[in-house]
Amino acid sequence: MAFPTRGKEEFAAVYMPMQKLVKVGFGKMGRMKVPITSHAIDYGTGTFEGIRFYEVNGKAAIFRLNEHVERLFASAKTGNYKLPISKEGIRNAIIETVRRSGMTSGYIRPKIFLGESSIRVSPHPETHVVFHVYTQELLDYYKTGQRGDKGMSVLIASKPRRTPFPNSKMSGAYQAGAALAPEASVHGATENLYLNSKGEISELTGSNFFMIKGKTIFTPPVIRGEVLPGITRDTISKIAKELGLKFVQKTIRPNDLLSADEVFVTGTAAEVSKVSEIKIPIKNGKIATYAAGRKLPGNIDAILKEARKKGIVPKEGVISINIPSKNRSVEDPKPISYVDLLRDKYKDIVHGKEAKRQKWLTIVDRVAPITSAKEYFSKHITESGLNVHEMPDRGIWELLKLRKMGPSGRISAGLGVGKRSE
């Protein structure tokens, strides 16, 4: 399996609460080791972000970095993960990691998670809190992000995605999506679309959902706490007006898709991606396609309800709603695609072509990388009385090494730091 190329270096900060210590350092990508006894591995206790950077005038420009850091902190608060580093410190760590990666475009994955702990769900007071960030290549995520692309097929999942904290990016919250996601490929779809328990549309596994009707964009409301307040979603809400479109948060049911002019999804990875087909699993193994969905027999909600009642399994079939790729309701001899217009504008913004939106870009200058992570981070520590230690470059990657068990049989100090023994 070929994974995308990662940047050259990663950054880690480890907070050791009982030792009043934070260890920080940059090191060679792929060397960091996480013990199998980490709390995050057993219980999914962590949170992460996904950020993109694009090439602008030969330099890396990070898109909406502040908003991503804000959301990371909000998620960390939800998870009660205490990392005594300021937002500015985290922002700087991300910028520095991008600088050291030598890449001018790509994806950034920062995360906060609980390291080694005892077996209890309640984290041991000595549990270390780890911040880690790396960069990697990321191209067209859904392979439908280009103008003229037909659009992708999505499958309404056969079960609602029951997930804790759907409005934050908690690692564990993705388990329900990960478990149901393979259904989509069974039916030749790219991604699952989830309904809530009332049969209303929420979002996809890793992106937000939108339907265009006439000159209005409809999207499920964030307020109900069933969808992630996506940063791309927010970008769309702000640029819609400039294209003469209204942005409305509203409950959407599968039936509403029958009269959609266009459908699209957004996300940092997904960017703005068109949807050309929505598949709904049904009983009887029949796969029926109906032009623009308008001739669909009966009521989709009723069909879905019935299917669920009968406990349909993915292989038993789907019905498909074909979504037009152009906005037909616009009284224009040449129908236009608002999704294409939104995507073009989005791409202009991320590539620094819109002066008004340049405040959303953090340009990473090619100054010499900082040498002392300790010096760099000392000023960003928010808790008094903490010491900042530089992890020796070659030692950083053993920072999560298992310590000896205490007399009680519990891990006495969680994580240890040592030099590599090669």
Q: Which residues bind ligand PMP (CB under 6 A)?
A: 50, 203, 206-208, 228, 230-233, 266-268
Q: What SS3 class is residue 373?
A: helix
- Give the other-Cβ count within 10 Å of 72's Cβ: 25
249 DSSP β-pair partners: 219
Contact 170, 72 (CB under 8 A): no
Return the number of the residue (144 or 207) whose C-beta is nearest ligand PMP.
207
Euclidean distance between CA atoms 184 and 277, whole angstroms: 12
Question: In whole angstroms, how far apart are CA 259 and each of 6, 39, 323, 326, 343?
Answer: 43, 47, 9, 13, 22
For residue 193, the minimal CB distance to ligand PMP (Å) is 11
Q: Which is nearer to ligand PMP, 350 or 386 (CB)?
A: 350
Are 236 and 247 spatial neighbours (Cβ–Cβ below 8 Å)? yes
Closest approach, Cβ 81 to ligand PMP, in A, equals 18
Residue whose CB is less far from ligand PMP, 118 or 208 = 208
Burial class (CB in 10 A: 0-12, 13-18, 19+), 2: exposed
Tell me the closest approach of the beta carbon of residue 173 to ligand PMP, in angstroms: 8
Count CB atoms within 10 A of the CB of residue 246: 11
By C-beta, is 127 or 362 nearer to ligand PMP? 362
Provide the minimum distance between the beta carbon of 78 and ligand PMP in the complex, in angstroms, as a whole number: 14
Dist CA 210 CA 187 (whole Å): 22
Contact indicator for 142, 152 with CB cutoff of 8 Å? yes
Strand locations in 158-270 (E): 191-195, 201-204, 208-213, 216-219, 246-249, 262-267
> Nearer to ligand PMP by C-beta: 117 or 273?
273
Minimum CB distance to ligand PMP smaller for 112 or for 381: 112
Strand-pairing partners, residue 212, are: 217, 262
Shortest distance (Å) from residue 98 CB to ligand PMP: 17
How far apart are CB 49 and ligand PMP at their closest, in Å? 8
Tokens of 158: 């056969």
CA 63/CA 333 separation, integer angstroms:
37
Cβ(210)–Cβ(271) below 8 Å: no
Single out the catalytic residue among 111, 169, 274, 279.
169
Q: DSSP class of residue 396?
A: G
Residue 233 beta carbon to ligand PMP: minimum distance, rounded to whole angstroms: 6
Known catalytic membership, residue 295: no
* Closer residue to ligand PMP (CB): 17 or 206: 206
Which residues are known to be catalytic? 169
